[in-house]
Structure 1
């Protein structure tokens, strides 16, 4: 259910409030929602997941990535959450947006683009098309 990309980050499809306790039991210290509220009817709100995360003793951040895509503020917010310490669980509808945002944030913190691409691929996500931009971000760090 949780796909570990590195020792510090895992991604998942939409989680339920009860998954927060499972995440804590597995050693995660934070949950990041990359899904906008009301993307589909019936999904748990970020507030509901955040409350369950707090109850489980986890940090929680809501960095929604919608149809407009990822912007610099999203990358900076994700990078700050990653810098606060992990392991972190990030979720969206399928895990793809969370993986893409993690890749960009990791590169913005000076991460090696090839290692980022390989970690995503090992988790079943293809971010290879972003490799030139990841290198550019890493070079600016």
Structure 2
């Protein structure tokens, strides 16, 4: 698990495991957002086991599974990050869905142009072509 900083408040990561939680807390994160649906892949830790380990490590935990992308999930993600008092680590299978939620929210709120999304993501090692297509399909 290697988080990628997106803002001072948000980092994204591939799938984490309960054993990662002490290190995540020690790195200064105070909250987690799970964007991966349970059971997406065999052997994947479920959100409940990560939530329990996170609570033991003193971390807040929000589950926003994203099997499909909606503005409602984007807004829930924004709220989860904003409501957390400190740095948040959002995770999914690769980190792409978590970054997608953030980037779409930035465009919807006028802080980023849809034309900037792909380059922003690529500079951090991600392909957000799906987010660009979603934005175009929704008039952005």
Unmatched 5+ stretches in structure 1: none
Report the secondary structure of 1:6's partner residue: coil
1:96-119: per-residue Cα shift (whole Å, max 9, x none)? 111111212333444223666554
Unmatched 5+ stretches in structure 2: none
Alignment partner, residue 53 of structure 2: 52
Alignment partner, residue 78 of structure 1: 77
Aligned length: 134
| 1:9 corresponds to 2:10 | yes
Check whether the contact 2:10–2:90 (CA below 8 A) recurs between aligned residues: yes
TM-score (norm 1): 0.81
Provide the rounded CA distance (Å) in 2 between the counterparts of 1:60 and 1:75. Answer: 17
Check whether the contact 2:96–2:128 (CA below 8 A) recurs between aligned residues: no
Deviation at 1:51, TM superposition (A): 0.8
Provide the rounded CA distance (Å) in 1 between the counterparts of 2:9 and 2:119. Answer: 15
TM-score (norm 2): 0.82
